Amino acid sequence: MIPELGHFALILALVISLMQATVPLVGAHRNRLALMAVARPAAQGQFLFLAISFACLTWAFVQNDFSVQYVAMHSNTATPMIYRITGVWGSHEGSLLLWALTLSLWTVAVTIFSSKLPEAFMARVLSVLGWVSVGFLSFTLITSNPFDRLLPAVPEGRDLNPLLQDPGMIIHPPLLYMGYVGFSVAFAFAIAALLTGRLDAAWARWSRPWTTVAWVFLTAGIAVGSGWAYYELGWGGWWFWDPVENSSFMPWLLGTALMHSLAVTEKRGAFRSWTVLLAIGTFTLSLLGTFLVRSGVLTSVHAFATDPKRGLFILALLVLVIGISLTLYAWRAPRLAGGGSFAFVSRDTSLLGNNVLLSVVCASVLLGTLYPLFLDALNLGKISVGPPYFEAVFVPLMAPVVILMMIGPFIRWKTDEGSRVAHQVVPGLVASVVAGAVAAFLIGPATWRTVLGLSLAAWVVIGSVQILVRRLADRPGTATSVRLRGIPRAWWGMWMSHLGIGVFIVGVTMVGGLQQSADLKMHPGQHALLAGYTFTLREVVDATGPNYAAARATVELTRGASPVATLRPEKRLYHAQQMPMSEVSIDVGPFRDVYISLGERLEDGAWIVHLFYKPFISWIWLGCILMAVGGVLAASDGRYRRLAERNASSAAVGQTA
């Protein structure tokens, strides 16, 4: 009964989304307020029914209703409650439902937080979001209904993929989807603006906070996903350039470019057609990512169930949504005037340069991800493209991005003198290269990678300090604390995000250059040495969990005579799927992680043990946190709220007059 309710709620949500897609659009076109006014209640009603539908599926999981096929495939009576709840989005059908729910949540957020938008514009935005929702809800209902019954019911379910039974997986998909799907708002704003032909500073200002918030979620989602890969997959790596990882990284790259391009469009009125294209492109990549993950055209460590019918449906959806958008772009964009002009030496140029570079990086990642598919489609053989390609392309393109990123804030908008900028920037750049090279030689065998990485990181730090000092020097006379408080949040957001990139680079460089690892065969009682630490395998005992049996090792970690930590890596066998899993144990520290993963048991009672020493690896995630916090600061800048209020009061004045 409950699953049928969920199914009906889903159908109702589709019907409402059709209304939300069509009626307000007609209203905006004919300028009928009554028709436009349908948009808001429709968006909120759609959310209500999707929430009911989602709750019903969750209930089926909680109640172990194995007459629902999706539940039977992904849950089990022994599965812990928390993983029964997160099992809802553990696979294809449920994660589509989560996609639709997330989209609906964003739509409702637009109706609440952008309530001061002109009625016709709002109607168009909600209509575009409605169309996207129609696409995804019909996809769910036609090809991937999570409420399909399995009759007769099976007595016991299959359990959730043990890889997904992890706290990281509880929050990773929702965060990632909030990011992915959040770019649909920027997309809807761009399409609405193209429809009206009003691509002005106001449009950019309305889009900015939405884009930034989506970017924050995506940043956090990717970071959590990479953290999960680090401690759950047991290989000690944190990024694998896997097609599924790439498909979340590509919208991030283009979304980063979009955020910066919107800033220029708002402040200077420039890059308008470029900004629109980035908004469409970012959302295209979000949809493309969904396609790549769901259709199975590429092999990936993310073993989702795949089905060619689903692939075809979502490809058709992609072609419709993006094809129409790009046709609209080709039709409307030529009418856009160029906007503010700017000289070669200007902040505008530095932002444009970085946007172009980020787009090129994104295109290279796309090429590498799809290259095996291209070759296969052209009958040129089967190959796989791995990290060597991506690293060879990524590093040389991203290094100038990082350099320019810190130079930009030194340059004035519109036009500046090259000699003035050089005078301010060159000493810092020289100091960074010296500092980076010295540090690289001090810490160990210096390679061009460590020198480059540490120099870039030093440049980010030195540049950040310089622009902060300059910013404070802008208002002489008052106390430093007053001046600090006078800096708007948006500026702090920019500063902190950029600093986060520097911290991130330190982590990547140090791990890449200095990590040590050993794969050993150890008997209980034996010692091993790595990176100055002594590892003692005390014992391996049997342990049982709720839905698995495990062998748990106790490893004592000492440095010299002093004990550091006791680590307990496990080798688990999950009952239902008979899937062995390595549960690593990590001693986390600010400057290094010590990471142990337990391998196979050998015939003679010895165990294979993988030991890793990973310097500065937590800085990778610290960097991501700084970037995300920076984004939150920027999006919460009071400016947007004040502008909203001012718009409201001017609207009120307009009405009384």
Partner 1 sequence: MKAKFLVPLVLFLVLAGFLGLGLTLNPRLVPSPLIDKPAPEFRLPQLENPDSYVSLADMRGKVWLLNVWASWCPACLQEHPVLLDLARQQVVPIVGLNYKDGRDDAIGWLRKHGDPYTTSVMDADGRVGIDYGVYGVPETFLIDQAGMIRYKHIGPVTPEAVRDLILPKIAELKRAG
**The dihedral formed by the CA atoms of 118, 119, 120 and 121, expressed in degrees to the nearest 10:** 50
- Residue 277 interacting with partner 1 (CB under 8 A): yes
Residue selected from 33, 377, 465, 529 as contacting partner 1 according to rule CB under 8 A: 377
Q: What is the rounded CA–CA span in Å between residue 380 and residue 81?
A: 49
Neighbours of 472 (CB within 10 A): 15
| Interface segment toward partner 1; rule CB under 8 A; list 93-101, 152-160, 401-409, 481-489 | 152-160
Q: What is the rounded CA–CA span in Å between residue 294 and residue 288?
A: 10
Q: How far is the CB of 128 from partner 1 (least distance, A)?
A: 18
- Residue 543 interacting with partner 1 (CB under 8 A): no
- Residue 142 interacting with partner 1 (CB under 8 A): no
Q: Pull the structure tokens for residue 516.
A: 């040590």
Q: How far is the CB of 537 from partner 1 (least distance, A)?
A: 25
Residue selected from 51, 78, 170, 326 as contacting partner 1 according to rule CB under 8 A: 326
Which of 165, 450 has the CB closer to partner 1?
Answer: 165
Q: How far is the CB of 28 from partner 1 (least distance, A)?
A: 23
Residue selected from 312, 430, 434, 549 as contacting partner 1 according to rule CB under 8 A: 312
- Residue 298 interacting with partner 1 (CB under 8 A): yes
Are 550 and 542 a contacting pair, CB within 8 Å? Answer: yes
Which of 76, 509 has the CB closer to partner 1?
Answer: 76
Residue selected from 47, 49, 228, 291 as contacting partner 1 according to rule CB under 8 A: 291
Residue selected from 81, 142, 301, 305 as contacting partner 1 according to rule CB under 8 A: 305
- Residue 579 interacting with partner 1 (CB under 8 A): yes
Q: How far is the CB of 578 from partner 1 (least distance, A)?
A: 5
Residue selected from 1, 34, 330, 479 as contacting partner 1 according to rule CB under 8 A: 330
Residue type, 319: V
Which of 447, 544 has the CB closer to partner 1?
Answer: 544
Location of structure tokens 């006379």: 477
- Residue 370 interacting with partner 1 (CB under 8 A): yes
| Interface segment toward partner 1; rule CB under 8 A; list 192-200, 206-214, 373-381, 452-460 | 373-381
- Residue 485 interacting with partner 1 (CB under 8 A): no
Q: How far is the CB of 120 from partner 1 (least distance, A)?
A: 25
| Interface segment toward partner 1; rule CB under 8 A; list 56-64, 304-312, 522-530, 560-568 | 304-312
Q: What is the rounded CA–CA span in Å between residue 277 and residue 281?
A: 6
Residue count of the chain: 657
User: Is residue 580 helix, strand or coil?
Assistant: strand
Residue selected from 63, 81, 142, 331 as contacting partner 1 according to rule CB under 8 A: 331
Location of structure tokens 């996609």: 99
Q: What is the rounded CA–CA span in Å between residue 556 and residue 567?
A: 6
Are 207 and 189 a contacting pair, CB within 8 Å? Answer: yes
Q: What is the rounded CA–CA span in Å between residue 643 and residue 500?
A: 29
Which of 6, 162 has the CB closer to partner 1?
Answer: 162
How many binding residues for partner 1 (CB under 8 A)?
A: 46
Helix, strand, coil percent content, the chain, rounded in steps of 5: 65, 10, 20
- The site string for partner 1 over 62-91 (x = CB under 8 A, - otherwise) reads -------x--xx------------------
From residue 85, alpha-carbon distances to 10, 99, 171, 250, 431 in Å are 19, 16, 12, 29, 53
**The dihedral formed by the CA atoms of 356, 292, 300 and 168, expressed in degrees to the nearest 10:** 80
Q: How far is the CB of 512 from partner 1 (least distance, A)?
A: 28
- Residue 295 interacting with partner 1 (CB under 8 A): yes
Spell out the SS3 assignment of 397-463: HHHHHHHHHHHHHHCCCCCCCHHHHHHHHHHHHHHHHHHHHHHHHHHCCCCHHHHHHHHHHHHHHHH
Which of 323, 563 has the CB closer to partner 1?
Answer: 323
Handedness of CA 609, 610, 616, 620 (dihedral sign): negative
Q: What is the DSSP string of 42-79?
A: HHHHHHHHHHHHHHHHHHHHHTT-TTBHHHHHH--TTS
Q: Pull the structure tokens for residue 82.
A: 């928390």
- Residue 334 interacting with partner 1 (CB under 8 A): yes
Residue 176's φ and ψ, nearest 5 degrees, are -60, -40
Are 500 and 621 a contacting pair, CB within 8 Å? Answer: no
Q: Which of residues 153-192 bind partner 1 (CB under 8 A)?
A: 154, 156-158
Q: How far is the CB of 250 from partner 1 (least distance, A)?
A: 12
Q: Which DSSP letter does residue 88 get?
A: G
Q: What is the rounded CA–CA span in Å between residue 115 and residue 137?
A: 26
Which of 281, 409 has the CB closer to partner 1?
Answer: 281
| Interface segment toward partner 1; rule CB under 8 A; list 216-224, 291-299, 421-429, 500-508 | 291-299
Which of 40, 332 has the CB closer to partner 1?
Answer: 332
Contacting positions for partner 1 (CB under 8 A): 69, 72-73, 150, 154, 156-158, 273, 277, 280-281, 284, 291, 295-299, 305, 308, 311-312, 315, 318-319, 322-323, 326-327, 329-331, 333-334, 370, 372-374, 376-377, 382, 576-579
